[in-house]
Copies of this chain bind each other. A is one copy, B any other.
């Protein structure tokens, strides 16, 4: 820790910064599912005390990006096939309607923002930075929820997209290409046109496409030690 406090500006919310940093690392697949997140370890990385690390981990646990096991610690979440399926079922339930609502409300500046997202997504893909592209793709969906101006449902969608990142990390089929940007482009067009029906349908089929690029059949290889699976504690 910097003893002289020379390079610690600390202008705002420290905890949130740690949350954002960890979330980004998970979204960009730099932290794999089931990775142990030790409190001291993270604290040293970001030069903060365990107090704020713990708060950050609890935040991430709430949106199920990490799982906290009492007296064991925090791990990057590792959704089961069933959980993975549920995440996309929930998205299929919420997002089409949200897209419809966005189509009815979007302003020109909203459209600009969406197009900007797509452009960045393209750039990341061209640069071969798949992690960043995936993250941007998720933020595209979140942006639509914001435009729809439904805060409550928007929050749900945010957590679903966060978890989607983990699901994709675990269950993505190599064979299928990551060609979402075309779907995103069509969606933006429908929203720009105010075509509610089309926006809803495009979002729905987009999610179906995403789903079909996943293979939930077999559980992914676990990095967890066997002891975890064998001992039958009730905690």
- Which A positions have Cβ atoms within 8 angstroms of B? 12-13, 51, 54-55, 58-59, 62, 70, 83, 86-87, 89-90, 93-94, 97, 150-153, 156, 160, 235
Contact = CB atoms under 8 A, between A and B. Distances in A.
Contacts of A51: 51
For this chain, the copies found in one complex come to 2
Contacts of A62: 59, 62
Contact of A94 (B86, B93, B235): B93
A94 B97 CA distance: 12
B90 A153 contact: yes
A111 to B, nearest CB: 24
A59 B62 CA distance: 8
Contact of A86 (B87, B151, B235): B151
13 contacts: A13-B70, A54-B55, A58-B59, A59-B62, A62-B62, A86-B150, A86-B153, A89-B152, A89-B153, A90-B150, A90-B153, A90-B156, A156-B156
